[in-house]
Structure 1
Amino acid sequence: MMNRLDWNTAFTRRWLEIAAIVMLVVFGLGFLLANLFFGGKQVAVAVESPQVIAQASAMPNQGWAPLMVYFSAYGSYATGATIARYEWDLDGDGRYDFDATAQGGYTNYLYSHPGEYIITLRVTDTLGRFATDQVSFSVRHPASSSVDYWTVFDDTRVRRIDILLSQSDWDQMWVDPEAKYQAMVDAIVFGQRLEDVGFRMRGQFSLRESGDKKPWEIDTDAYIDGQEYYNLHQLMLLNSIGDPTLLREKLAYEMMGFAGVPASHVTYVELWIDTTDDDSPATFWGVYPMVERIDNKYLNNRFGRDSKGGNLYKASHAQRGPMDLIYYGESITDYPAQNGQYAYGKMNNEAMADYSDIISLCRTVDGTQYATEGELMQALEGAINVDTFLRYIAVITILDNWDSYPYTGNNYYLFNNPVSGRFEWIPWDLAWGENPQASLFPTGGVGIIQRAPLVDQVFSSESYRRQYLAYVDLLLRYWFNEGNITDQVEKYHRLIAPYVIQETGDKAFYGDQPMFPPEAFTNAWQDLIRFAHDRNLFLKDALVNEAQP
């Protein structure tokens, strides 16, 4: 007969045996999962660790539904190990249900429903340590736009604009183009007649150096208050100065949009001039990129209706001098001026003559010493949308656009957004350069302006440098590469080519004062593809040299 001590000992031994079997099963499953998920490499129990850095990036970070967003884990790394797994929570439900390990952390996802999204990346190294990072972006419903962009800026076709005016008005425009004489005309825009609209030449350098093919502005409510075309007050026809392909500006705006930078919509139009007091037919003047103007509607559709009233400044170094963001003092009279105008050209609220916000921005960017990187970042983030600026600089750098902030202090807008309480960076008048080996990091002070302090401050931060590199990498991978540029260039060249050579030909190539010989249009588009190929290779090599350990 078993006594109580013997019975307890046997009971204990039996449960110890069961526990041992359970532990063997658990460790066996763990070993099986390790082999399944980590290729046979031994891993420890997953633990969040500061030795692992996750860096999540997304492009674009805002746009209209449906929106395809591209994600990157570029810049993620582990100290003393390698990243073994990249996982994304792409729908924001808290589950890492998309494994991007085979793609090196890159993936994309189509967002059909408007909303604010927060997407999380989790990276795990070969030691079982992990880290997470998040990106956020906004998907807007097209119906929330006050402008029907998809009709007005339909870029699948070239549509016609006719300008009907008297011979005397037409002649007066050419007496002194830089006077920008405005005529009252009728305009037939894509078949819709608008009466008594303003029509004049526009621009600075593009006006002086363009021969007969001038840039134009159509002002729908210049003479009839409130007259609009699909809720737009002005139509801007740019003349592709220095670009015989007629494609560079269109592609640059598309690249900005892909990057997530607030960018104008662009479509192609054919412009005809009809002097109505003679019997001659209308004259074909050329194919123009019609670019969305930066105005209140533009701002409301990008930053919300509550953003109304914020100061808008335009950089135009030829007209007013460069907007360099250098801190000169506490009075606007301390700042550079040209032609009787301050460099920071106010596009609205002119009567208030209040420049305190732009002076505050310059003080933050250039007039303050910061003890730490964190202090610098906090100050900059409170004054300007640094993320948008990094995306903008990534595009400008890839395109080798020298006529921009780091070099000339030109061709951009600053909008003081009353909703966020900080400035937004808006691109304008975009171009391409021709140097495929231009530096990965732009440097201020090598162009017209003495310094570019915002560039200097941003790139003094290791965090901002890493984010900038991730944006360059995303653009090279998904947009600015030989394959995509070839597709885009060929598509738009085929679209506009029949119109360029119609009738007496586009004034950029034909007539008394062309900008280019006719064969330039036929051949120059191939230069864009070659540049994209060479630039992509150069910058990819530069990124390798900047890679994390």
Structure 2
Amino acid sequence: MSTHKHIDRICCVVLVLVLILTAVFVNGEAFGIQTVSTVMGYELKLFDTSVVHTIDIEMDDWDSFIENCTDEEYVNCTVIIDNEAYKNVAIRAKGNTSLSQVQTYGNNRYSFKVEFDHYDSTKNYYGLDKFCLNNIIQDNTYMKDYLTYQMMGYFGVDAPLCSYAYITVNGEDWGLYLAVESIEEAFLKRNYGTDYGELYKPDSSDMGGGRGIGGGFNEGGGMPRENEGQFGGEKMPGFGTGSGQQNAPDGMGGEADGAAGKGMGKDMDGAAGKDMGKDMNGAMGSDDVTLVYTDDDYDSYSNIFENAKTDISDSDKDRLIASLKKLNENEDIEEVVNIEEVIRYFVVHNFVVNFDSYTGSMIHNYYLYEEDGQLSMIPWDYNLAFGGFQSNTDAAGLVNYPIASPVSGGTVDSRPMLAWIFASEEYTELYHQYFSEFIAEYFESGYFEGMMDSVREMIAPYVEKDPSKFCTYEEFEAGIATLKEFCILRAESIRGQLDGSIPSTSDGQSADGASLVDAGDMEISAMGSMGITEKMEGTAPEAAGESLQRPDGEAGESFEQGKMPDMNGGTNDFAANNTQSWILVSISAAILLLGLIVAFVFKRR
């Protein structure tokens, strides 16, 4: 037996230290130890991009549900994903203009939102709380959203996961949809850990339509219904003329005109005040959705705060306003902007030429993430990318769209989250560097062409048998071929803009268009557009009756997708985040047990 006179105290100290260590392991985040990201489990389940998944929706009265879809009310159903059934799940139609457009098409092919936790907060799909089923409207390629999200993920942007899913209703074919991870709690945990920051979806009240506008975890965005059909011309506001476009210096290396120094974003063409965005070359958003700092009044940012997707306090509002102020004054950019994340976002965003967005006249379809005062952008809704917005037909103008003046319906200065890049030679060079890396890795390497061919091979049989598609199969083939050609030519033009052989500003291209990449007889409309077409293959099938049948066979057909990069960053172990917590508890318990054994042995000696 030990004769050390302080053995009792030593044992007590050891036990206390072990207990402290256990508390730190289990409650690390409470002590400031942050988890960068969390493996949820659903990443390689529903969002495995190597297969077309099967989703069967079972509902007693599908006809009634479809008839009332425009009400966007949740209805109870059973959802069977790759032969795994989930009962008591909520589903509703989603969208803004797409809701009325589906009716105009004379079609029942709505987009849907599926919520596992709507009726039971404990229910989830391998950690996923909600996801969307996009109907792929106005996209003959079936790939605009998919391709953009894959590009974003490939290039390190926090983007929603997505995959193709063939939908059946009560066992009867309904159509090929795109399953997209909702930008909600599961997304936040996957990308930022359980101690995530604040999420907003800035959108003007006059941009409205749909349930997406408002607080809480609800998707939104979209063109106001009262303005449908307004944009039918062949030219976008300011497109190709240089008017209203931000000009970068020669060589793309210096400060952009008017963007340098403090006050950036305050004196934008004299448009101050809350309605600035509405008066600048056709832009239709309020100041706050452009992320312009006006003052410290909460009401000046109602289109941000009223569309918060996380619970926010006054201190959260103060912190965001302070960050917007510094952003607009071009001060402490490293503190208020996630530099690398945002530049990478704009590299891909500007490549795909999407004017139904922050850089377009509508100024919406993006999420704003804030954590500890630092801001970043999360991509959303790209079905009108690659020139689809406003039914533009200028193929050469879109292929060569200038990367140094990428705003339509305004100036670069009028978009503070973009303007800081061109206000600094250092950040402009970083933007060019990342663009060069993206073009080299994704396109010049041959990866893009191989990926496109593989995805086309994978989805083509499902498109062909899709009973409710918005285009014919021949239009799908023409659309996907056009998308492939567009991207190849776009990459060629951007390489020229980076090396100086092609002007990188709208003014430069207007003055000298001889070096622009020739788009030949490319028809942008072949990829789909905002216009309504009479060429639908058919309409959505009627309800599949009362019989509730489960789909037969495996979870989709497996196709080789080349060297698709791993976008998911982990295994598909079920509820992996809970598993990690139990591992930490087990380790702590083992250490505690070891301490007790040591104490017992010393006590006996």
Q: TM-score range by the shorter chain?
A: 0.5 to 0.7
Q: Is the 8 A contact 2:412 2:418 kept in 1?
A: no
Identify which range, 184-193 or 431-440, moves more after superposition.
431-440
Query: Given the alignment, which residue of 39, 42, 47 partners 1:153?
Result: 47
Q: Is the 8 A contact 1:199 1:216 kept in 2?
A: yes
Question: Corresponding residue for 1:446?
Answer: 409
Question: Corresponding residue for 1:346?
Answer: 308
TM-fit CA distance, 1:445:
6.3
TM-fit CA distance, 1:170:
3.5
TM-fit CA distance, 1:471:
0.9
Q: Provide, for residues 154-174 of structure 1, a one-character-per-residue CA deviation record: whole Å limited to 9, x for no partner.
A: 11111211111122x532442
How far apart in 2 are the matches of 1:237 and 1:402? 23
How far apart in 2 are the matches of 1:326 and 1:416? 16
Alpha-carbon spacing, 1:534–1:155, altered in 2? closer, same or farther (3 Å): same
TM-fit CA distance, 1:301:
2.1
3-state SS in 1 of match to 2:92: strand
RMSD: 2.7
Residues 1:181 and 2:181 are matched in the alignment: no
Question: Corresponding residue for 1:235?
Answer: 131
TM-fit CA distance, 1:473:
0.7
Query: Given the alignment, which residue of 197, 210, 217 partners 2:113?
Result: 217
TM-fit CA distance, 1:332:
2.1
Aligned pairs (5 A) from 1:225-264: 225-264=121-160
Alpha-carbon spacing, 1:403–1:450, altered in 2? closer, same or farther (3 Å): farther
Q: Is the 8 A contact 2:198 2:312 kept in 1?
A: no
Q: Is the 8 A contact 1:384 1:422 kept in 2?
A: yes
Q: Is the 8 A contact 1:247 1:489 kept in 2?
A: no
How far apart in 2 are the matches of 1:297 and 1:483? 34
Alpha-carbon spacing, 1:441–1:153, altered in 2? closer, same or farther (3 Å): same
3-state SS in 2 of match to 1:150: coil
How far apart in 1 are the matches of 2:443 and 2:352? 9
Question: Corresponding residue for 1:286?
Answer: 175
How far apart in 1 are the matches of 2:42 and 2:428? 37
Question: Corresponding residue for 1:54?
Answer: none
For structure 1, the residue ranges without an aligned partner over 5 or more in a row are 1-139, 275-281, 371-375, 509-514
TM-fit CA distance, 1:298:
1.8
- How many aligned positions are there? 373
How far apart in 1 are the matches of 2:36 and 2:428? 33
Rg comparison, structure with higher value: 1
How far apart in 2 are the matches of 1:534 and 1:461? 29
Question: Corresponding residue for 2:378?
Answer: 426
Letter in 1 for 2:94: R
For structure 2, the residue ranges without an aligned partner over 5 or more in a row are 1-34, 214-284, 388-397, 503-605
Question: Corresponding residue for 2:188?
Answer: 299
Q: Is the 8 A contact 1:152 1:230 kept in 2?
A: no
Alpha-carbon spacing, 1:156–1:313, altered in 2? closer, same or farther (3 Å): same
Question: Corresponding residue for 1:409?
Answer: 363
Aligned pairs (5 A) from 1:119-518: 144-167=38-61, 170-175=63-68, 177-210=69-102, 211-274=107-170, 282-307=171-196, 310-317=197-204, 318-319=207-208, 323-335=289-301, 337=303, 342=304, 345-349=307-311, 355-366=317-328, 368=329, 376=331, 379-407=332-360, 408-418=362-372, 421-431=373-383, 432-434=385-387, 435-444=398-407, 446=409, 451-481=414-444, 483-502=446-465, 505-508=466-469, 515-518=470-473
How far apart in 2 are the matches of 1:244 and 1:208? 19
Alpha-carbon spacing, 1:422–1:185, altered in 2? closer, same or farther (3 Å): same
Q: Is the 8 A contact 1:481 1:532 kept in 2?
A: no
How far apart in 1 are the matches of 2:368 and 2:179? 22
3-state SS in 2 of match to 1:347: coil
Letter in 2 for 1:161: I
How far apart in 1 are the matches of 2:179 and 2:143? 12
How far apart in 2 are the matches of 1:529 and 1:301? 31
3-state SS in 2 of match to 1:501: helix
Q: Is the 8 A contact 1:164 1:186 kept in 2?
A: yes
TM-fit CA distance, 1:336:
5.9
3-state SS in 2 of match to 1:212: coil
TM-score, with normalisation over the residues of structure 1? 0.63
TM-fit CA distance, 1:447:
5.3
3-state SS in 1 of match to 2:76: strand
Alpha-carbon spacing, 1:448–1:284, altered in 2? closer, same or farther (3 Å): farther
Letter in 2 for 1:364: K
Letter in 2 for 1:304: G
Q: Percent identity?
A: 24
Q: Is the 8 A contact 2:421 2:427 kept in 1?
A: yes
TM-fit CA distance, 1:403:
1.9
Question: Corresponding residue for 2:474?
Answer: 519
3-state SS in 1 of match to 2:195: helix
3-state SS in 2 of match to 1:264: coil
Letter in 2 for 1:208: S
Q: Is the 8 A contact 2:163 2:179 kept in 1?
A: yes
Letter in 2 for 1:291: V
TM-fit CA distance, 1:283:
2.7
How far apart in 2 are the matches of 1:256 and 1:473? 15
Question: Corresponding residue for 1:14?
Answer: none
How far apart in 2 are the matches of 1:240 and 1:149? 22
Alpha-carbon spacing, 1:208–1:361, altered in 2? closer, same or farther (3 Å): farther
Q: Is the 8 A contact 2:421 2:428 kept in 1?
A: yes
How far apart in 2 are the matches of 1:406 and 1:535? 18
Alpha-carbon spacing, 1:186–1:295, altered in 2? closer, same or farther (3 Å): same
Q: Provide, for residues 342-365 of structure 1, a one-character-per-residue CA deviation record: whole Å limited to 9, x for no partner.
A: 576100105769522332222112
Letter in 2 for 1:314: K
